[in-house]
Amino acid sequence: MNERHVDLEILRYDPETDEEPAFQTYRVPCQEDWVVLDAVNYVKDVLDRTLSYRWSCHMAVCGSCGMMINGEPMLSCKAFVRDMPDRIRIEPLANFPIERDLVVVTDDFMDKLASVKPYLIPREEKAIEDGAHVQTPAQLKKFKQYTLCINCTLCYAACPQYAHDQNFTGPAALALAHRYNLDSQDVGRGAREDVVASNAGIWECSFVGACSDVCPHEVDPAGAIQQTKIASTVDYFMGLLTPERDR
């Protein structure tokens, strides 16, 4: 295969020795079918063993190799070098504290994800011996798109609202809440409402849509948030008309 040399400008930061992050440039011979992750792996394996970053599957499934590539949040295992210029700037995901080099601290995202109760809250418990919960293809289709999220946090790196106010629950967490709210087996919508429909939840979203633009699996968190706004508004007015209604 033909090799092409590219310069990777990688942001480096060691909190034990560096006062501020700084870029370091590496010249890398890249094959035609390489993605940016392959080029970064070359740096780690051949040029500089001290480089820190996350990756696992190399198949856009694990969601761990997200990076800012030429200013855009991407999965580095999906970003082909052949589509990039000869100089590629690589930084850790925006809007998160830097742990070291390209590794960011995602504790805030994990806390927000847990806050929306991202699990089934069933109407009633069903013993295993009583058989499986039955769901029609039509019922599955309502929420299937929102099950495709891999928690890569690219949407948080792209979200201007999260950059402005990190109290915002954020795109992925709200989309996952919407996934369970739409599930015919779930009755937890009311339990999630305090977080989802709060000022820091769906109403903080300004619907820029950047989260959906960068999503590697077309989950469309922006669309999920707008749908939740409509459902929450209906809930509010129905609650005024029929306060005894069980949501």
The residue out of 104, 138, 168 marking a domain boundary is 104
- In this prediction, residue 243 has a pLDDT band, given cuts at 50, 70 and 90, of low
User: What CATH number should be reported for the domain holding residue 187?
Assistant: 1.10.1060.10
Say if residue 1's pLDDT is above 70.
Answer: no
If asked whether residues 138 and 61 sit together in one domain, one would say no
Question: Using one digit for the tens of pLDDT, what is the confidence trace for 113-154?
Answer: 999 999 999 988 888 888 888 899 999 999 999 999 999 999
Instruction: Report the candidate in 174, 179, 181 with the shortest Cα–Cα distance to residue 247.
Output: 181
Ranges of beta strands (E only) in the chain are 3-12, 22-31, 66-69, 72-75, 87-91, 98-100, 103-104
pTM here is 0.92
The count of structural domains within the chain is 2
Residue 54 belongs to what domain range? Answer: 3-104
In a domain, 246, yes or no: no
User: What CATH number should be reported for the domain holding residue 57?
Assistant: 3.10.20.30
The residue out of 89, 104, 119 marking a domain boundary is 104
If asked whether residues 65 and 160 sit together in one domain, one would say no
DSSP class of residue 203 equals: G
Residue appearing with tokens 């005024």: 240
In a domain, 16, yes or no: yes
The whole-angstrom separation of Cα 49 and Cα 170 is: 35
In a domain, 57, yes or no: yes
Average pLDDT of the chain is 94
If asked whether residues 63 and 140 sit together in one domain, one would say no
Question: Using one digit for the tens of pLDDT, what is the confidence trace for 194-227?
Answer: 999 999 999 999 999 999 999 999 999 999 999 9
In a domain, 247, yes or no: no
Question: Using one digit for the tens of pLDDT, what is the confidence trace for 31-50?
Answer: 999 999 999 999 999 999 99
Say if residue 2's pLDDT is above 70.
Answer: no
The residue out of 56, 79, 104 marking a domain boundary is 104
Please compute the mean of the pLDDT values over residues 96-125 and round it to a whole number. Answer: 96
If asked whether residues 9 and 65 sit together in one domain, one would say yes
If asked whether residues 87 and 28 sit together in one domain, one would say yes
Say if residue 245's pLDDT is above 60.
Answer: no
Tell me the HSE value of 148 on the side-chain side, using a 13 A CA sphere: 17
Instruction: Report the candidate in 232, 181, 234 with the shortest Cα–Cα distance to residue 204.
Output: 232
Question: Using one digit for the tens of pLDDT, what is the confidence trace for 158-180?
Answer: 999 999 999 999 999 999 999 99
Predicted local confidence at residue 116, as pLDDT: 97
If asked whether residues 76 and 142 sit together in one domain, one would say no
Task: Give the Cβ contact number of residue 83 at 10 Å.
Answer: 8
If asked whether residues 88 and 136 sit together in one domain, one would say no
In a domain, 164, yes or no: yes
Above pLDDT 70, what percent of the chain? Answer: 97
Instruction: Report the candidate in 23, 19, 188 with the shortest Cα–Cα distance to residue 101.
Output: 23
If asked whether residues 75 and 160 sit together in one domain, one would say no
Say if residue 246's pLDDT is above 70.
Answer: no
